[in-house]
Amino acid sequence: MKKLIKSSILCFFTVFSLVSCNRVNYEIPDHKVIIEKNEDEKWTESTLSNIVEKIKNKDTFLSFLYSESCSYCQKIEEESIPYILKNKKFKLYAAKVDKDSVTQEEIKEFKNYTKEEMDFFSTKDGFISIKRPITLLIENGNIVRYEIGYTGTLNSWIDTYIE
């Protein structure tokens, strides 16, 4: 009986880790990152190309990459984005990522500024999509923290790493 329980628990955690819709980078900054404030409580609609330009310019900012068809993106929009915009008043650059708003070239250019394991996009059969919502903390043009998917920890790392 004990062996069956252990096997069941192991199986559950294995399946859960394989189907989980999130991945968090824990290479965290050792200081608080200062982000531009925004008083109007709305995100700044941007494009992936504009995000790349901000990275090239060595800007420090918070970015949200999303798709309108993504349920986890909608969950973050409902729960975490209002916290970022209304409670913290941080400026947030949001870029929609889908076949109508992003090209293969833009994705390739963006990938030049990410680590190899940061596989954010699906470009299967010429169809471009975002795999899950992505929140990026960029300091001086370097991605120092990111969260892929919805883990429920976004608000806490916003509090911990951003000023």
Domain housing 144: 22-161
Task: Report the number of distinct structural domains present in the chain.
Answer: 1
Dump pLDDT digits (tens) for 113-139. Answer: 887 667 777 777 767 778 789 899 999
Helices and strands: H and E segment counts in the chain: 6, 8
Q: Distance between CA 130 and CA 73 in Å, rounded?
A: 10
What is the predicted pLDDT for the residue at 2? 55
Indicate whether 8 belongs to any domain: no
Q: Is the pTM higher than 0.75?
A: yes
In a domain, 85, yes or no: yes
Kindly state the tokens that stand for 66: 């999303």
Average pLDDT, the chain: 79
> Residue 15: inside a domain, yes or no?
no
Confidence of residue 95 (pLDDT cuts 50, 70, 90): very high
Identify the CATH number of the domain in which residue 123 sits: 3.40.30.10
pLDDT tens-digit profile of 4-28? 554 544 444 333 333 334 333 445 6
Residue 58: inside a domain:
yes
Predicted pLDDT of residue 117: 63
Query: Does any domain span residue 77?
Result: yes
Domain assignment of residue 7, yes or no: no
Q: How far apart are CA 151 and CA 99, in angstroms?
A: 26
